[in-house]
Chain A
Amino acid sequence: MAEAKYLHHDKLSAWLEEVAGKMRVLAPVRQGDAVVFAPYASGVQVEMDKQATTPPKGVVFPASEELLRYDYQKNPEQPGQVDVELLPVIQPEPTLVFGCRSCDARGFVIFDRVYAGQTYKDPYYLARREATLFAVIACLRHDITCFCHSVGGGPGDAQGADLLLTPIEDGYVVEAVSERGAPLLDSPLLEPARDKVEQAQTLRDKAPRNMGNPTDFAPARDKLMAVFDDMDFWEDVSAKCISCGACTYLCPTCYCFNITDEGAGLSGRRVRSWDNCMSSQFTFEASGHNPRPTKAHRLKNRVGHKFSYYPALHDGLISCCGCGRCIKSCPVSVDIREIVVRAMGHALPAKDKD
């Protein structure tokens, strides 16, 4: 692995510009009162000090993505005969996501098991995944809503990262974590990090300790199954939920999608877009039946999927990266940690026990 480097604050924009000459660079920038990942251009102020409002999920798994174009062609000789031409579209652009957090990059580790696992490989996902690099900034301070250390990650964790930046003195120690990240360190703007590497390691080791004791969510896997049929419990914890999709769409690990055709006349596009299990349409069947008729059923699915069903399929891995955006940005402050903790400590009604 390449030698660790040091990047001084003053050289940050020059370095980003250098990288932007080779590939698209997305960085957290301010838009209105929000911070979102947008293409880096010179002169743009990069927001390094806080977690971005939206995660960089869309870079690899776009909010809506064209899968193919279709075009119906009528045969003028035989009007009854219509041919359809399909044109698959996969055009990922080589991209560096700069300045995301450990939790953001780790989200894709959870994606990988679904879209790039043993049984199925999604070509659209894979193409974008392989074209994208992540330069992660280690968090030396945390938000009230952060709980990455309780779900298998950590504030200085490098899972899913290609470069790891640790804020130190007047700049960053930049370490290559993957083979693909190493060439980015090859720049005259970076100087050898020398003894700063050890300091950075010390800072990263200290960071999780500031977050307080982690919660052990492992028992949730069985406990959530046990409370599955206790609808009183689910109605109680979901009472204040307003069934919007903020939690889902801001979640770095929510990977469900919908496929629709958007066309006009004889041609159009087949689009894959984010879906949202908080919406009643998510499970609405063609017959008119809906197996998840209320918000209690739907919130149960969201919590259950992350802390029980996914772990059961994937070696106990929790499909939550602990970024806390679903808590922070929820219009009514629903707290997923609280729901899981309550489920783990919930005494089942007597009739269910025997």
Chain B
Amino acid sequence: MSGVNELRIVGFLCNWCSYGGADAAGVGRLAQPTDLRIIRMPCSGRINPLFVARTLLSGADGVLVSGCHPRDCHYAEGNFYARRRLEVFKRLLPTLGIDPGRFEYTWVSASEGQRWQTVVTTFTEQIHRLGPMPRFSPGEACVAVLAESGG
């Protein structure tokens, strides 16, 4: 992504698979775009779809959720519930006037460093195609505060 300003992408990653996968990609020195900030979660089932909404409204340009593959959940079924919730939320986005491409959820296991590289690269490219998230008109207090505090 050389020559393009970084956008803000937030990733919510499950501790047991995708976080490990991201780690594996790093250890393997696989080149990745640097727009993504990762937040480690205990399980994709812990990810409230409203985390995604709040993140987009608070200044992110894209949000990526990644967990264990179905049938591989560390807690047996967390990602099954996550899949339903996240799918429903993704489908709400068009009515909100937010491009559904700003949010994706996927599955990456701890050994899939290569796959993680693909996911991050593809998603980051997708967000760059969409450009910055539209902002709200007056009084962007929190975003301004975040920007001032270097967040």
B136 to chain A, nearest CB (A): 15
**CA distance in complex: A131, B141 (Å):** 24
In Å, the complex CA distance between A262 and B145 comes to 9
A-B contacts counted at CB < 8 A amount to 21
Question: Does residue A264 face the partner (Cβ distance < 8 Å to B)?
Answer: yes
Question: When chains A and B are docked, how far (Å) is the Cα of A7 from the Cα of B52?
Answer: 54
Complex CA–CA separation, A263 to B151 (angstroms): 12
Residues of A within 8 A of B148 (CB): 267
The range of chain B's interface size is: under 10
**Residue pair B141, A269 in contact (C-beta under 8 Å):** yes
Check if A266 is an interface residue, CB within 8 A of chain B.
yes
Residue B146, interface by CB 8 Å = yes
How far is A346 from B8 in the complex, measured between Cα atoms in Å?
63
- A76 within 8 A of partner (CB): no
Interface residue? A265 (CB, 8 A): yes
A192 beta carbon closer than 8 Å to chain B: no
The tally of residues in A whose CB lies under 8 Å from a CB in B reads 8
With both beta carbons as reference points, the residue of chain B lying nearest to A271 in the complex is identified as B141
Assess whether A331 is interfacial by the CB under 8 Å rule.
no
Contact between B149 and A265, CB atoms less than 8 A apart: yes
When each residue 246-280 of chain A gets 1 if its CB lies under 8 Å from chain B and 0 otherwise, what string results? 00000000000000001111111100000000000
Q: How distant is the Cα of A266 from the Cα of B150 in the complex, in angstroms? A: 10
CA distance A143 to B80 in the complex (A): 56
Interface residues of B in 119-151 (CB under 8 A from A): 141-142, 145-146, 148-151
> B146 — which chain A residues lie within 8 A by C-beta?
264-265
Residue of A nearest to B148 (CB): A267
Query: Would you give the shortest CB distance from A84 to chain B, in whole angstroms?
Result: 14
List of A residues within 8 angstroms of B150 by Cβ: 265
**B142 contacts A262, CB within 8 Å?**
yes
Distance in angstroms between the alpha carbons of A227 and B145 in the assembled complex: 50
Q: Which residue of A lies closest to B149 (CB)?
A: A265
Cα distance A264–B140 in the bound complex, in angstroms = 13
Chain B residues with Cβ below 8 Å from A263 are 145
Complex CA distance for A77 and B149, rounded to whole angstroms: 20
For residue A265, which residues in chain B have a CB less than 8 angstroms away from its CB? 145-146, 149-151
Distance between A126 CB and nearest chain B CB, rounded to angstroms: 23
Q: Give the residues in chain A near B149, CB-CB below 8 Å.
A: 264-267
Q: How far is the CA of A111 from the CA of B101 in the complex (A)?
A: 50
Point out the residues of chain A lying under 8 angstroms from B151, CB to CB: 264-265
Q: Complex: how many Å from CA A266 to CA B146?
A: 10
Chain B: CB-nearest residue to A263: B145
Quote the shortest CB–CB distance from A268 to chain B (angstroms).
6
Cα–Cα, bound, A263→B146 (Å): 8
CA distance A268 to B150 in the complex (A): 13
Which A residues contact B (CB, under 8 angstroms)?
Answer: 262-269
CB<8 Å pairs between A and B, sample of 21: A262-B141, A262-B142, A262-B145, A263-B145, A264-B142, A264-B145, A264-B146, A264-B149, A264-B151, A265-B145, A265-B146, A265-B149, A265-B150, A265-B151, A266-B149, A267-B145, A267-B148, A267-B149, A268-B145, A269-B141, A269-B145
B interface residues with partner A (beta carbon < 8 Å) = 141-142, 145-146, 148-151
The 8 residue pairs across chains A and B that have the minimum distance between CB atoms: A265-B149, A264-B145, A264-B146, A267-B149, A264-B149, A265-B151, A268-B145, A266-B149
Q: Other CB < 8 Å A-B pairs besides A265-B149, A267-B148, 15 of them?
A: A262-B141, A262-B142, A263-B145, A264-B145, A264-B146, A264-B149, A264-B151, A265-B145, A265-B146, A265-B151, A266-B149, A267-B145, A267-B149, A268-B145, A269-B141
